[in-house]
Amino acid sequence: MSGFAFSGLTASFSGKRVIGPLSLQVNPGEKIALVGKSGAGKSTLIRLMHERVNRESSLIPQELGLVSALSVFHNVYMGQLDKHSTWYNTITLARPFAKDRAEVTTLLQSLGMTEKFWTPTASLSGGQRQRVAIARALYRKASILLADEPVSALDGPMANTVMTLLRDRFSTSIIALHDVDLALDYCTRIVGIQDGQIALDEPSANLVASDIMSLY
Domain span at residue 33? 4-213
**Can you give the pLDDT at residue 1?**
58
Residue 75: its pLDDT value, please? 98
Report d(CA 58, CA 45) in Å as an integer.
15
Query: 155-173 burial by CB neighbour count: b if 16+ within 10 A, else e?
Result: eeebbebbbebbbebbebb
Query: Please, which residues have CB within 8 angstroms of residue 214's CB and are 6 or more apart in sequence?
Result: none
What backbone torsions phi and psi does residue 55 show, to the nearest 5 degrees?
-70, -20
| Digit-coded pLDDT (tens) for 155-186 | 999 999 999 999 999 999 999 999 999 999 99
Q: Write the pLDDT tens digit of every residue in 40-75.
A: 899 999 999 999 998 899 999 999 999 999 999 999
Spatial separation of the C-alpha atoms in residues 109 and 132, rounded to whole Å: 12
Task: Give 87's pLDDT tier (boundaries 50, 70, 90).
Answer: very high
- Where residue 216 falls among pLDDT bands split at 50, 70, 90? confident
Percent of the chain at pLDDT exceeding 70: 100
Residues 6+ apart with CB under 8 A from 142: 55, 56, 57, 58, 170
Q: For residue 152, give the CATH number of its domain.
A: 3.40.50.300
Length of the chain: 216
Average pLDDT over residues 122-150: 97
Overall domain count for the chain: 1
**What local confidence, expressed as pLDDT, does residue 54 receive?**
86
Task: Please tell me the predicted confidence (pLDDT) of residue 105.
Answer: 98
In percent, how much of the chain has pLDDT > 90? 88
0.85 exceeded by pTM: yes
Torsion, CA 79, CA 83, CA 85, CA 90, rounded to 10: -10
- What lies within 8 Å, CB to CB, of 103 at 6+ separation is 139
For residue 15, what pLDDT is reported? 86
Q: Is the pLDDT of residue 20 over 90?
A: no
Distances (CA, A) of 44 to 55, 107, 196: 18, 29, 9
pLDDT tens per residue across span 88-121? 999 999 999 999 999 999 999 999 999 999 999 9
| Ramachandran angles phi, psi of 38, nearest 5° | -55, 135
